Amino acid sequence: MNFDLSVLDLSPVPSGSSGRDALNNTLDLARLADRLGYKRYWLAEHHNLPTVASSAPEVMIEAVANATENIRVGSGGMMLPNHASLKVAEVFRVLEALHPDRIDLGIGRAPGTDPRTAYALRRAPGEDGSALHAAADRFPEQLGELFAFTGDGFPDGHPFAPISAVPNDVSLPPIWLLGSSDYSAQAAAEVGLGFAFASHFSPMEPGAVMRFYRENFKPSERLSEPHAILATSVICADTDERALELASSQELSWLRMQTGNPQPLASVEEATDYPYTEMERGRIEAYRKTQIAGSPATAREKVESLAEATEADEVMVTTMVYDHSERLASYERLAEAFSLSAAA
């Protein structure tokens, strides 16, 4: 089975380092991914999390595109309920104008944060949570506005009819809908867009969701054939044992997130010494089954198996390890295992 390999970067913040370090590490990794031959480099949008520094993907897309030459750069994703559709359209038309045929627009309907922070971002009326649900329910309307501002147009008499996203002589980049459930798969199939499934944190089995998207896809002017991306967590080390050691940082980070105590990414030593309860160990074991950690041979076998089971056109790898040099080495080993080449 043929599929491309890409990168999803959350700009992780290791314990003892800074957000500035994390963002500079992103640029460093992006240059490496460009040299190695990865297809895309997507930046996430998260807010109020000490674990990740990626809060403004549109800013980092410009920085990464400037720092690289060939790799496509995009959002993984822009959380549409946090933004005005017109502004998203303008930003990505500007990015496309500056970096023609290298920009992707991945769109999500979740806030990428906790309810309180989502409220602070949106400032919608009401403080009982109803405003947040209303914002998510408006996602189809916001997506329609995005298309209307960039070519589809509004109906006659609509107050936004005279408005277009400037520069209006630049096409909007290719669009993917992102999701961790079947909602975005259905929406992407219905309107003829690409689909990316967040398998790295979703408890859902990805195969059924991605097959549904492919089987129900309706061609559109934006995309003639389905294109499904599977995002998954991969840590590739010299041996299976070392990969599992490195993965302990991510596992503790995930556990703290789940229990409402997010912290910067722990070192392997801190994760090893952490006093897990029996219940916590059970949760970690369940989480571990959704992640890939192993030697180059093991990682390749598991990624290929996952791609085949989900019929993915592309596997987008996110790697959360404490040491930046180990993160770089993980992507290098994976590229070598799959015989990637910058020329290709």
Q: Determine the structural domain holding residue 203 and report its residue range.
A: 4-237+296-337
**Number of domain units in the chain:** 1
CB contact at 8 A, 226 and 195: yes
- The reply to whether 254 falls in a domain is no
Whether this model's pTM surpasses 0.85: yes
- The reply to whether 269 falls in a domain is no
pLDDT of residue 73: 98
- Rounded to whole angstroms, the Cα distance separating 107 from 195 reads 10
In the chain, pLDDT over 90 holds for what percent of residues? 85
For the residues 163-172, what does the mean pLDDT come to?
Answer: 96
Neighbour-count burial for 321-330, b at 16+ CB within 10 Å, e otherwise: bbebebbbbb
First to last CA, the chain: 17
- Rounded to whole angstroms, the Cα distance separating 236 from 7 reads 14
For the residues 166-182, what does the mean pLDDT come to?
Answer: 95
For the residues 322-338, what does the mean pLDDT come to?
Answer: 98
In the chain, pLDDT over 70 holds for what percent of residues? 95
Q: Within its chain, how far is the Cα of 314 from the centroid?
A: 13
- Rounded to whole angstroms, the Cα distance separating 118 from 177 reads 20
- The reply to whether 91 falls in a domain is yes
Mean pLDDT of the chain: 93
- The reply to whether 288 falls in a domain is no
Task: Tell me how far CA of residue 200 lies from CA of 68, 75, 135, 166, 205, in angstroms.
Answer: 26, 16, 25, 35, 11
- The reply to whether 85 falls in a domain is yes
Q: Cβ-count burial of 114 within 10 angstroms (0-12 exposed, 13-18 middle, 19+ buried)?
A: middle
**71: CATH:** 3.20.20.30
Q: Does residue 127 register a pLDDT over 50? A: no
Q: How many CB atoms lie within 10 A of CB 63?
A: 16
- The reply to whether 22 falls in a domain is yes
Q: Does residue 130 register a pLDDT over 60? A: no
For the residues 249-277, what does the mean pLDDT come to?
Answer: 95
pLDDT of residue 134: 52
CB contact at 8 A, 3 and 309: no
pLDDT digits (tens, 9 = 90+) for 6-65: 999 999 999 999 999 999 999 999 999 999 999 999 999 999 999 999 999 999 999 999
- Rounded to whole angstroms, the Cα distance separating 272 from 220 reads 50
Q: Does residue 338 register a pLDDT over 70? A: yes
Maximum distance among all Cα pairs of the chain, rounded to whole angstroms? 65
Q: How many CB atoms lie within 10 A of CB 83?
A: 19
pLDDT digits (tens, 9 = 90+) for 84-112: 999 999 999 999 999 999 999 999 998 77
Q: Tell me which residue has tokens 């859902």.
A: 204
Q: Within its chain, how far is the Cα of 131 from the centroid?
A: 25
- The reply to whether 256 falls in a domain is no
CB contact at 8 A, 14 and 226: no
CB contact at 8 A, 177 and 188: yes
CB contact at 8 A, 89 and 171: no
Q: Does residue 319 register a pLDDT over 60? A: yes
- The reply to whether 281 falls in a domain is no
